[in-house]
Amino acid sequence: MIREEAIERLRAWAARAQHEAMVADTREDILNWQAQAQVLTSIANFLADQGAGMDELQIWTRIVTDRAKSMAAWLGNTTGPEAALYAGQVAGYDVALTVVRDVAGRVWPRIEPHVG
């Protein structure tokens, strides 16, 4: 997949997540979907703008690093609105990493945390 296709896919997924936020039933679901949409939009914009001059390893590293920060925040806030927000961010990064491959052509392995 070329970069332009990845950007289009990320933007389409962001639009879908934003739609889901608009029809969500609970505050936590709204926050989760909004966070996913925000992450996906941010990554698409990054790839189109300042990331345009970066190689795949630099992009991969940046997204994985940002995901790790959101995951750490989620694990530190496992209940309430903050948990929903961080869970949505992690989900957004997980979706983005299915589009962005590392230099060896592997996609990010999804790891499910035990948050409850």
DSSP string, 2-63: -HHHHHHHHHHHHHHHHHHHHH-SSHHHHHHHHHHHHHHHHHHHHHHTGGGGS-HHHHHHHH
In a domain, 11, yes or no: yes
In a domain, 104, yes or no: no
Which pLDDT score, from 0 to 100, does residue 32 have? 97
Which pLDDT score, from 0 to 100, does residue 103 have? 47
In a domain, 105, yes or no: no
In a domain, 24, yes or no: yes
In a domain, 68, yes or no: yes
Which pLDDT score, from 0 to 100, does residue 3 have? 82
Which pLDDT score, from 0 to 100, does residue 9 have? 93
In a domain, 113, yes or no: no
The rounded distance, in Å, linking the Cα atoms of 71 and 65 is 10
Which pLDDT score, from 0 to 100, does residue 113 have? 55
In a domain, 116, yes or no: no
What is the mean pLDDT, run by run of 10 residues, along the chain of 116 residues? 86 98 96 98 94 86 94 93 96 90 56 53
Which pLDDT score, from 0 to 100, does residue 104 have? 52
In a domain, 23, yes or no: yes
Tell me which residue range forms the domain holding 53.
3-98
pTM for the full predicted model: 0.86
For residue 106 the two structure tokens come to 């592997």
Q: What's the domain count of the chain?
A: 1
